[in-house]
């Protein structure tokens, strides 16, 4: 069984002409999510952020900002178009649309180029590829309009391929109990005092959202034998990037991973013992310093060919 864990994501901020996005009813966000072919499963809210757990990933809503992430074969572009049309493109401060490279692009209903052709009908923007087309890479599109990012704004995205060890054992077990997973992850120890919400999918798969003030983190685990993948993302301001990434990598013990950092200030580069950096892209895009890097476990085992059922 295969499930595409690799995500699409958009981040949209509105200007002061728009009243708080959090005043919009849940039915509005449910409509937005449904347009991407996903559904809202549950919600947790801090003073500054509503975090929705979705059937395929997550939606975060702040007063002036929305971050939506979906995986599988969802059509995130439709949800983005709905919001852009609802608020009006003139009231958009910044807009970023990302697609990670997929395991099986042919199973998707659109590719990045299709999505951007659609978005560009209403939104002038620039499109980029970070990383070689034949390696792990990220497609990124941003609104082409001067934008000054909030001073403390930074996001870390961590894409992990091929989990191993205890994490593999636990997450590939069918109908695992949430308590077991929470105990194993022990996230409270890394990220203190967050409001937490999670969901165990059947037969396998796990998602969690957590919020504290305007900070969030989210984890999505796709443990399937074909295309094992875990994503982590956070905007936590008072924790060191190196500490965050190391903590999460130590839990899932992937074979390879990509780190994507967006920072309104200088990006603090991270390095990892036991992994080798293989590709790196550094640029200034849409008001942020952006860093994309891929890491590989250097140990080469001679494996057998993987037999496929067709």
Q: Is residue 1 within the footprint of its own copies (CB under 8 A)?
A: no
H/E element holding 278?
strand 276-285
Which C-beta is closer to its own copies: that of 191 or that of 229? 229
Which C-beta is closer to its own copies: that of 63 or that of 277? 277
**Interacting residues of 75 by C-beta distance below 8 A, sequence separation 6+:** 35, 36, 37, 109, 110
Q: Which of 18, 40, 127, 195 binds its own copies (CB under 8 A)?
A: 127
For residue 61, the cross-strand partners are: 50, 66
- x-or-dash string of contact with its own copies, 55-94, rule CB under 8 A: ----------------------------------------
* Spatial contact of 252 and 102, defined as CB atoms under 8 Å apart: no
For residue 99, the cross-strand partners are: 8, 139
Calpha distance 82→293 (Å, rounded): 32
Provide the strand spans (E) within 46-200: 50-54, 57-61, 65-70, 92-100, 125-130, 138-143, 154-161, 195-200
Q: Is residue 135 within the footprint of its own copies (CB under 8 A)?
A: yes
**φ, ψ (nearest 5 deg) of residue 288:** -125, 150
Which C-beta is closer to its own copies: that of 24 or that of 285? 285
Q: Which of 111, 167, 172, 235 binds its own copies (CB under 8 A)?
A: 111
Nearest distance in Å: CB 45, its own copies: 35
- x-or-dash string of contact with its own copies, 188-227, rule CB under 8 A: --------------------------------------xx
**Interacting residues of 78 by C-beta distance below 8 A, sequence separation 6+:** 35, 36
- x-or-dash string of contact with its own copies, 257-286, rule CB under 8 A: -------------------xxxxxxxx-x-
Calpha distance 158→161 (Å, rounded): 10
Which C-beta is closer to its own copies: that of 104 or that of 243? 104
**φ, ψ (nearest 5 deg) of residue 269:** -65, 145
Nearest distance in Å: CB 58, its own copies: 22
106 backbone φψ class: left, alpha, beta (φ>0; ψ -120 to 50): alpha
Q: Is residue 147 within the footprint of its own copies (CB under 8 A)?
A: no
- Residue of 236, 242, 184, 173 whose CA lies nearest to 210: 236
Residues numbered 232-261 forming contacts with its own copies, rule: CB under 8 A: 255-256
DSSP three-state, residue 159: strand
The one segment of 12-20, 44-52, 108-116, 146-154 that binds its own copies by CB under 8 A: 108-116
Q: Which of 82, 128, 147, 275 binds its own copies (CB under 8 A)?
A: 128
Which C-beta is closer to its own copies: that of 105 or that of 150? 105
Which C-beta is closer to its own copies: that of 234 or that of 290? 290
The one segment of 11-19, 49-57, 119-127, 206-214 that binds its own copies by CB under 8 A: 119-127
Exposure string (b/e) for 9-27, b if CB count within 10 Å is 16 or more? bbbbbbeeebeebeebeee
Which C-beta is closer to its own copies: that of 45 or that of 73? 73
Residue ranges binding its own copies (CB under 8 A): 101, 103-106, 108, 111, 113, 116-117, 120, 126-130, 132-136, 139-140, 161-162, 226-227, 229, 255-256, 276-283, 285, 290, 292, 296, 298, 300-310
């Amino acid at each position: 069984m295969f499930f595409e864990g690799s995500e699409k994501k958009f981040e949209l901020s509105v200007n002061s002409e728009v009243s708080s996005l959090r005043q919009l009813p849940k039915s509005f966000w449910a409509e937005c999510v449904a347009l991407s072919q996903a559904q809202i499963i549950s919600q947790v809210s801090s003073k500054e952020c509503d975090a929705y757990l979705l059937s395929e990933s997550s939606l975060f809503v702040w007063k002036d900002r929305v971050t939506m992430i979906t995986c599988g074969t969802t059509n995130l572009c439709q949800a983005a178009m709905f919001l852009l049309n609802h608020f009006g493109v003139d009231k958009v401060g910044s807009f970023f649309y990302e697609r990670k490279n997929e395991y099986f692009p042919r199973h998707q209903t659109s590719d990045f180029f299709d999505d951007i052709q659609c978005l560009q009908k209403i939104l002038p923007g620039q499109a980029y590829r970070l990383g070689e087309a034949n390696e792990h890479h990220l497609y990124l599109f941003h609104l082409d309009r001067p934008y000054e990012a909030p001073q403390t704004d930074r996001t870390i995205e961590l894409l992990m391929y091929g989990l191993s060890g205890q994490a593999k054992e636990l997450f590939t077990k069918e109908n695992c109990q949430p308590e077991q997973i929470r105990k194993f992850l022990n996230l409270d120890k890394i990220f203190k005092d967050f409001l937490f919400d999670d969901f165990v999918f059947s037969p396998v798969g796990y998602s969690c959202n957590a919020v504290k003030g305007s900070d969030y983190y989210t984890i999505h685990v796709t443990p399937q034998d074909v295309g094992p993948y875990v994503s982590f993302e956070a905007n936590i301001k008072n924790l060191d990037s190196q500490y965050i990434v190391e903590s999460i990598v130590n839990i899932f013990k992937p074979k390879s991973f990509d780190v994507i950092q967006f920072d309104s200030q200088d990006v603090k580069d991270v390095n990892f013992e036991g992994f080798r950096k293989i590709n790196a892209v550094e640029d200034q895009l849409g008001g942020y310093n952006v860093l994309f890097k891929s890491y590989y476990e250097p140990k080469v085992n001679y494996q057998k060919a993987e037999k496929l059922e067709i």
